[in-house]
Amino acid sequence: MSPIKPSHSNDAQPQQPQRRQLLAAAATLGVAPWLLSACASAATSPAVAPKAAGMRRKIGPFEVFPVGLGCQWRPGAAPGVIVDSYSSSFDRAAAIRLIRQAVDQGVTFIDTAEAYGPFLSEDIVGEALQGIRNKVVLETKFGFDIDQVTGQRLPGGRNSRPEHIRRVVDAQLKRLRTDHIDVLLQHRVDPNVPIEDVAGTIKDLVRAGKVRHYGLSEPGLQTVRRAHAEHPMAVIQNEYSMLWRGPESGVLPLCEELGIGFVCWSPLGMGFLAGGVNAASRFVAPDFRAISPRFAPDVLPANMALADLVRTWAQRKNATPAQLSLAWLLAQKPWILPIPGTTNAAHMTENLGAASISFTADELRQLNAAVAAIRIQGDRLPPAVAVMSGAEAPPKR
């Protein structure tokens, strides 16, 4: 099986917040596609990445390194500049170096999407993986109504019509410079297309050799069952971290029941869990946190109790806050994979160190109880974006 790759990690002290890669800054429903990727973060002094040999976990049909890499970027305001959803920036050459360095250090799972850019992130990933494509599990996504020639977002919002999926996949294969996609995800459930039609189309793409496996992102539970019955799913990708534990109530038990792997986007809580936010932090668009209710000035001071807890436990485990947060995710289930993103190679290396951190049964009980005792204030997403999570596909007529 292909192995997985690492991702980005921590940042500076709370008084020196470092912007991290993650969800795209989108204030409107039309920009929502940028939401679906892995989180960026901040930390203290970077730790040394572990040796990847022998460090694997089974995610669906894949055996991968325990930390993946999320690649979610878009063009900046200036020519040649590439930015993430937290205003961090670099250029194309640096992005390619970061991906190749991640693979060199053992990362074997890379996530991206047509909506990230649109198209830009897939194009960068495709270039970076030339010559090393067979070393990674490559995951990308479809599901928004994007013109495949111009990249323009069309009024339809979501689009998972079978003919559109086929056009998207052909375009993705060209951008990614590969003959197959290891995991193809529906970015968000389409309220107008039965999931049986979506899964059936992907089944055809699997037969054609263009796609190996598939999954859903932020789906409704019944949609998961229906899709899995049509064609077995490999993974579900949802937001999950100590800052947002929603999947524990329904999605994770369902994954365990059906044998589906779970990929976590925003595993560092948009930098919050990595030490990149403090009570006085204020965010301005296009930073996505400017429209995220849990980062609002009136609730942020109360929510810092969780950041304080993470920092305390990180010191106890001789780790950085980002590493501690990722290790907590890895400890919840053996089939969970976090995919943090970053524009900083040192953060990426630091994140990989989470794979070397373990908890005793008593430590994990203590930490879980302490996290559960903190009530996070503010919704995780603005209403226009939240409405797309947990959606159920229409019935098959």
pLDDT tens by residue, 213-254:
999 999 999 999 999 999 999 999 999 999 999 999 999 999
Distance CA 162, CA 157 (A): 16
Distance CA 255, CA 59 (A): 11
pLDDT at 320 exceeding the cut of 80 = yes
Burial, 290: exposed, middle or buried (Cβ in 10 Å; 0-12, 13-18, 19+)? middle
- 116 a catalytic residue: yes
Lowest mean pLDDT across 45-49, 144-148, 360-364: 45-49
- Alpha-helical runs (H) found in 333-360: 345-352
Place of tokens 């003919």: 163
3-state secondary structure of 396: coil
For residues 389-397, give the mean pLDDT. Answer: 96
Sign of CA dihedral 11, 240, 27, 110: positive
| pLDDT more than 90, % of the chain | 84
Distance CA 239, CA 94 (A): 27
Both structure tokens of 280 = 């006085």
For residues 55-69, give the mean pLDDT. Answer: 97
Structure confidence at residue 51 (pLDDT):
54
For residues 151-168, give the mean pLDDT. Answer: 96
Structure confidence at residue 54 (pLDDT):
57
For residues 63-90, give the mean pLDDT. Answer: 94
| pLDDT more than 70, % of the chain | 86
Burial, 397: exposed, middle or buried (Cβ in 10 Å; 0-12, 13-18, 19+)? exposed
CB atoms within 10 A of CB 229: 13
Residue 144: CA count within 13 A, CB half-sphere: 27
Structure confidence at residue 86 (pLDDT):
85
β-bridge pairing 181-186 and 211-217: parallel
Structure confidence at residue 52 (pLDDT):
52
For residues 318-326, give the mean pLDDT. Answer: 98
Lowest mean pLDDT across 38-52, 79-93, 205-219, 302-316: 38-52
pLDDT tens, residue by residue, 325-359: 999 999 999 999 999 999 999 999 999 999 999 99
Distance CA 67, CA 264 (A): 10
Higher-scoring residue by pLDDT: 257, 51: 257
pLDDT tens, residue by residue, 165-203: 999 999 999 999 999 999 999 999 999 999 999 999 999
Q: What residue type is assigned to position 250 of the chain?
A: G
Say which of 86, 116, 214, 240 is annotated catalytic. 116
Structure confidence at residue 39 (pLDDT):
31
pLDDT at 309 exceeding the cut of 70 = yes
| Cis before 286? omega within 30 | yes
Mean pLDDT of the chain: 89
Place of tokens 């996949």: 169
For residues 362-371, give the mean pLDDT. Answer: 98
Structure confidence at residue 87 (pLDDT):
78
For residues 270-278, give the mean pLDDT. Answer: 95
Structure confidence at residue 156 (pLDDT):
84
Structure confidence at residue 105 (pLDDT):
97
Structure confidence at residue 171 (pLDDT):
98
Distance CA 161, CA 195 (A): 10
Beta bridge partners of 62: 59
Question: What size, in residues, is the chain?
Answer: 397
pLDDT at 212 exceeding the cut of 70 = yes
Structure confidence at residue 274 (pLDDT):
96
Burial, 106: exposed, middle or buried (Cβ in 10 Å; 0-12, 13-18, 19+)? buried
Structure confidence at residue 44 (pLDDT):
34
Q: Which residue in 4, 132, 5 sits closest to 59, CA to CA?
A: 4
For residues 302-309, give the mean pLDDT. Answer: 98
pLDDT at 40 exceeding the cut of 70 = no
β-bridge pairing 89-91 and 81-83: antiparallel
